C-alpha cells in the first residue's frame, strides 16, 4: 500500500493556507461530533496533498474516543498535553499542567487560532523562522508559554506579521481580542459565581472565528466554507458495533 505524500500547509501561499486552515477546522469539528477528539492541533499536524491541494489533519496519536455528541472527552490536561506553543491558554498554566483542567472542544479550537498567530508572525515564502517570544515558546517551559501567550492577548496591538501575512493582520488581531475577552469574562464568572459556564462547540466557531472574519472584511479572506455542512448523527447500533470492535482490538493487543 502506497501512502500519499503530504506537504506542510505552511508551504502554501497565504490564501491557500487560509483555506487549508478552515478545512482542518471543519474536519476537526465533524470528527469531534462523531466522537473523536484530536487533542494535538499544531502547525506541523496541518498538511496538504499536493496532487489535490486538499488539507489533511494529521497525527492522531493523542486522539481520544468518546460517545458522539459528548462535549467533554475522558481526559484532562496532563493526559494529553499537545504541542505547547499551540495549546489553549488555560492548559500550560499551573492548573492545566497539573491536570485540573477538563479538556473541551474550545481548547482545540483555540489551538487553531494560535496556529494562525504563529504562521502570521513566523512564516515568509513558506519558510518558518522563529524569533523573540515565538522561539521562547518552543524552547521554554509550560510557564514560559503561558506568559508569552498572555502578553500576546494583553498587547494585541504589538502583534505584527511577516510581509506575506500582512493582509491577515486584522483577522488575527480580532481572534486574539476575542479570546482575551473570553478569558476575562470567564475569570469574572469564577470570581462572582465560583465557577464558569461552558458553551457548546457551535458557539465558539460562530462567535469567535466566523463573526470576527466577517467583521474584519478582508478582501479574498472571507469564511471559505460552511462548518456544519453535514449531519453528524451516528446511529446507536452502528456506534455500538464500532465500540465492540474497538474493545476486541484492544484486548488482542
Reported as a single tens digit per residue, the pLDDT across 38-75 is: 989 999 999 999 888 889 999 888 888 888 777 777 66
Question: What's the predicted TM-score (pTM) here?
Answer: 0.86
Residues in the chain: 253
What pLDDT score does 250 carry?
47
What pLDDT score does 253 carry?
42
The answer to whether the CB of 117 falls within 8 A of the CB of 153 is no
Give CA–CA dist 76/99, Å, rounded: 5
Q: What is the pLDDT of residues 140-184, one digit of tens each?
A: 898 999 999 999 999 999 999 999 999 999 999 999 999 999 999
55-80 burial, b at 16+ Cβ within 10 Å, e below that, comes to: bbbbbeebebebebeeeebebbbeeb
Among the ranges given (35-39, 52-56, 100-104, 241-245), the one the predictor scored with the smallest mean pLDDT: 241-245
Task: Give the closest residue to 16 by CA, choosing from 62, 40, 49, 59.
Answer: 49
Higher pLDDT among residues 1 and 216, named by residue:
216
Q: Which CATH architecture has domain 6-231?
A: Orthogonal Bundle (1.10)
Q: Does pLDDT of 115 surpass 80?
A: yes
What pLDDT score does 242 carry?
59
What pLDDT score does 129 carry?
94
Amino acid at each position: 500500500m502506497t501512502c500519499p505524500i503530504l506537504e506542510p500547509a505552511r508551504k502554501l501561499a497565504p490564501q491557500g493556507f487560509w483555506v487549508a486552515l478552515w478545512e482542518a477546522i471543519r474536519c476537526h469539528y465533524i470528527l469531534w461530533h462523531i466522537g473523536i477528539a484530536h487533542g494535538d492541533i499544531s502547525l506541523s499536524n496541518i498538511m496538504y496533498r499536493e496532487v489535490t491541494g486538499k488539507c489533511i489533519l494529521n497525527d492522531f496519536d493523542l486522539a481520544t474516543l468518546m460517545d458522539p455528541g459528548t462535549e467533554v472527552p475522558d481526559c484532562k490536561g496532563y493526559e494529553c498535553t499537545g504541542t505547547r506553543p499551540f495549546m489553549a491558554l488555560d492548559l500550560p498554566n499551573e492548573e492545566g499542567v497539573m491536570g485540573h483542567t477538563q479538556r473541551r472542544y474550545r481548547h482545540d479550537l483555540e489551538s487553531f487560532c494560535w496556529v494562525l498567530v504563529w504562521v502570521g508572525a513566523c512564516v515568509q515564502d513558506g519558510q518558518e523562522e522563529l524569533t523573540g517570544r515565538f522561539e521562547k515558546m518552543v524552547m521554554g517551559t509550560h510557564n514560559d508559554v503561558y506568559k508569552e501567550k498572555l502578553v500576546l492577548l494583553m498587547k494585541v496591538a504589538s502583534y505584527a506579521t511577516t510581509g506575506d501575512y500582512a493582509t491577515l493582520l486584522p483577522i488575527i488581531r480580532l481572534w486574539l481580542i476575542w479570546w482575551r475577552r473570553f478569558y476575562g469574562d470567564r475569570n469574572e464568572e469564577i470570581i462572582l459565581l465560583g465557577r464558569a459556564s461552558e458553551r457548546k462547540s457551535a458557539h465558539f466557531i460562530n462567535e469567535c472565528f466566523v463573526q470576527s472574519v466577517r467583521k474584519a472584511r478582508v478582501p479574498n479572506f472571507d469564511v471559505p466554507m460552511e462548518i456544519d455542512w453535514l449531519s453528524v448523527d451516528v446511529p446507536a447500533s452502528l456506534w455500538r458495533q464500532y465500540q465492540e470492535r474497538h474493545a476486541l482490538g484492544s484486548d488482542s493487543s
